Amino acid sequence: MDNLDKLFVVWAFLLQIVLIAHIAVRKPLFESYTMKFGWLVYALCIPSAIISVVLLRGGKSWSFWLGGFLFIAFAVFGYWVD
């Protein structure tokens, strides 16, 4: 397992934990959490896109780097909905 694989795995787990926690508390704590800090979750698309570019330039398969670019579309939609 090279460093790019490790980067992908660590970022994927971290991002999934953040997204699960965000979605779990989004409705019950809408005023105190979502309106104040929800944008930070969607701002994680920026490092995701950077990591995707690194993986793309590192010659990794499309299945490794496509998710970061898809997260940009998800983040824009999620920010708009919230």
List the chain pLDDT tens, one digit each, 82 residues: 899 999 999 999 999 999 999 989 988 888 888 888 888 999 999 999 999 999 999 999 999 999 999 999 999 998 888 7
User: Considering only CA atoms, which of 15, 10, 27 is closest in space to residue 81?
Assistant: 27
The whole domain housing 14 covers 3-81
Between CA 68 and CA 82 the distance in angstroms is: 20
Domain count, the chain: 1
Q: What is the pTM of this model?
A: 0.84
2 phi-psi bin (left φ>0, alpha ψ -120 to 50, beta other): beta
pLDDT at 32: 84
In contact, 11 and 52? CB cutoff 8 Å? no
User: Considering only CA atoms, which of 17, 16, 37, 15 is closest in space to residue 26?
Assistant: 37
